[in-house]
Amino acid sequence: MAELAKSEIRISTKQTDGNPRNVTQLITTVALAVLMGGTLFLYVQVSLQQALLYILGGIGGFVLYQARFGFTSAWRKFILYRQGEGIRAQMIMMLAANLLFLPLILKGSVFGHPISGYVFPVGMSVLIGAFIFGIGMQLGDGCASGTLYHIGGGDMNGLVTLIGFIAGSVIATTHFDFWLNAPHFAPISLIQSFGVGFGFLIQFVMLALVYYVTIIIEKRYHGKLVSTSTVNHHGWKAIYKGPWSLVWGGIILAVVNALILMIQGKPWGITSAFALWGAKFLQLIGTEPEQWEYWQDPTRAASLKNPLYEDVTTVMDISLMFGALLAAAFAGRYAKPIQWKRPTRMTVGALIGGVLMGYGARLSFGCNIGAYFDGIASFSLHGWLWFVAAFAGSIIGVKLRPYCAYKN
């Protein structure tokens, strides 16, 4: 009887272990099918360029998940615990992007099409929009790219944040012209205003200053630098199973962004698609967003008229989620059940956070990727203003998180 009982236990354990494995295999298959099928579809229906950008979006999502490269969590750790490892990784990523962007921007064209970074006006819209975004990213528990890769990683709270993000983006487009006319200075490019050599030096000094300040503050608070240990249990398989270091994750993201710049002529974008999705939905229910000032721009008007698969940002956002889904499956995330139930306060907080981010991103020309990463990578002063204002907003957002049932 004892042997029979042991046999039953072994069989039961084997069956239990098999279920998560089957789920992981299914999710891996689905993610690969969507990524490969989407690439082929876009190549046939749109262009090789669209297919390549779809692939790069998937790579971006894969990297974000495996490196757990979070802008939101990195800032929160520094605000609460004076741990600056994540911010330092961001500064290294920015420097790598500067080195890759600079020759492309100076050349002015690649593959027969013009190349330009994101250099936008410096003014009230960036200041206020980024500040609002900073509050929202802490309440939504992730920025724009973070929300998308969290969804791919099985965080259902990200779906709520995304819904709010879309709503906030649409709201902002209803009076976008008001913010465009708010007080502002003309776009300021460091390399155009101060020359290539001196402009790059100014940029390097600012990156180094942020890097150094985080070290000083962290050492004063802890007596030493506190590093998050990345334990590799997979040997060489860590290449696809993870986890990756923050620094290597940031460097690879800089390479991905530079490739995006080469292929489409402008850097990586995330949030413009959310306004488009919301406008498309409003058209389905009989509203006419195409009459709004925001959609009078020829490029935006064309994107609203054309199928979604022709919109670059849309296809890259979708592949980002499935790239993260694939990374999560490889990492064994789906061996554990997804937590569908969330405290009501967390759901409300995520929704409000999403609305704030959607609204703030339209005002400030983007999110952590489109404004912060791309702006600084393009040597634009507005990227630095965005960083300062969004970080200030994050300080408030962190203080509000406990009211939304988040544990800091």
What mean pLDDT, rounded, does the chain reach? 91
pLDDT band at 1 (very low <50, low <70, confident <90, very high): very low
Report which of 367, 50, 104 is spatially closest to residue 258, judged by C-alpha positions: 104
Write down the pLDDT at residue 22: 84
Better pLDDT: 408 or 165: 165
Q: Which residues pair with 380 in a beta bridge?
A: 189
215 band by pLDDT with thresholds 50, 70 and 90: very high
- Within 13 Å of residue 365, how many CA atoms lie on the same side as its CB? 28
Residue 401: pLDDT over 80? yes
Residue 156 burial (10 A CB sphere; 0-12, 13-18, 19+):
middle
Q: Is the pLDDT of residue 96 over 80?
A: yes
Task: Please report which confidence band the pLDDT of residue 17 belongs to, taking 50, 70 and 90 as the band edges.
Answer: very low
Identify the pLDDT of residue 19: 60
What predicted TM-score, i.e. pTM, was given to this entire model?
Answer: 0.91
Joined together, the tokens standing for residue 265 give 């002529």
Q: What is the pLDDT of residue 242?
A: 74
266 near 307, Cβ under 8 Å?
no
At 113, is the secondary structure helix, strand, or coil? strand
* pLDDT score recorded for residue 4: 33
Average pLDDT over residues 118-145: 96
User: Which of these, 380, 360, 16, lies nearest to 190 by C-alpha position?
Assistant: 380
Query: Which of 56-70, 123-137, 334-348 is least confident?
Result: 334-348
CB 314 within 8 A of CB 49: no
Return the amino acid letter for 96: A
pLDDT, tens digit, for every residue of 349-397? 999 999 999 999 999 999 999 999 999 999 999 999 999 999 999 999 9
Which band of pLDDT confidence, cut at 50, 70 and 90, is reported for residue 228? confident
Say what the pLDDT of residue 231 is.
66
CA dihedral 150, 153, 154, 155 (to 10 degrees): -20
Range of weakest confidence among 109-113, 120-124, 162-166, 258-262: 109-113
pLDDT digits (tens, 9 = 90+) for 259-293: 999 999 999 999 999 999 999 999 999 999 999 99
Going by pLDDT thresholds of 50, 70 and 90, the confidence category of residue 88 is: very high
Percent of the chain with pLDDT over 90: 80
